[in-house]
Amino acid sequence: MNARLGPEDLRAYMQTNAIPGEIVRLDTPTPTVGAAAKAVGADPDSIIKSILFLVDDRPVLAITSGIARVDRRAIAALYQVGRKRVKLASPEAVLKFSGYEVGAMPPFGHREPLATLLDSRVLEKRLVYGGGGAEDNLLRLAPADIQTATGARVADLLNPPEQVA
């Protein structure tokens, strides 16, 4: 298995791909949204999380506000599969596909390109903070730059579409 990726790998990826943003090193780990918000003096709604799901064993990254809860039915509808075919990836799978540990995973710069879904509410923010490659690093950037860098599909990840009878 390849070595784990970290903030320097993310910084190099951003430089190589001309992605604007900044990796902020903090004095304390930020394992929760509340801790991250407090550490950077931001509203908890400005903290984003990158969560890896497996849709029929294919990795799909969902990016949403840290305080929001992704609804697997919304992802299932986007991929036209049943909800039970959408599973939260294990920490081992997250490391395998992204190269980063759970809790530190950035929205891009992974070991392999990941299909990415971006919750539409994230784009309403001017600036967001996400995983910076380690628990004591956060990535600060504009949400539009996440969409550009990932080619993310923008969708409502919090609410499943209405069921058609």
Question: What is each CA distance from 124 to 119, 142, 143, in whole angstroms?
Answer: 10, 10, 8
Structure token digits, residue 31: 């394992």
Residue 153: strand pairing partners:
117
Residue 162: pLDDT over 70: no
pLDDT digits (tens, 9 = 90+) for 71-82: 999 999 999 999
pLDDT for 2 equals 62
User: Which numeric CATH code is attached to 7-155?
Assistant: 3.90.960.10
- For the stretch 16-73, pLDDT in tens is 999 999 999 999 888 888 999 999 999 999 999 999 999 999 999 999 998 899 999 9
The predicted pLDDT at position 122 comes to: 97
Q: Name the residue among 74, 149, 73 with its Cα closest to residue 108.
A: 149
Q: What's the CA gap between 106 and 50, in Å, rounded?
A: 7
The domain segmentation of the chain, as residue ranges, is 7-155
- pLDDT at residue number 165: 42
Q: Examine the pLDDT at 164 and tell me if it is beyond 80.
A: no
pLDDT at 54: 98
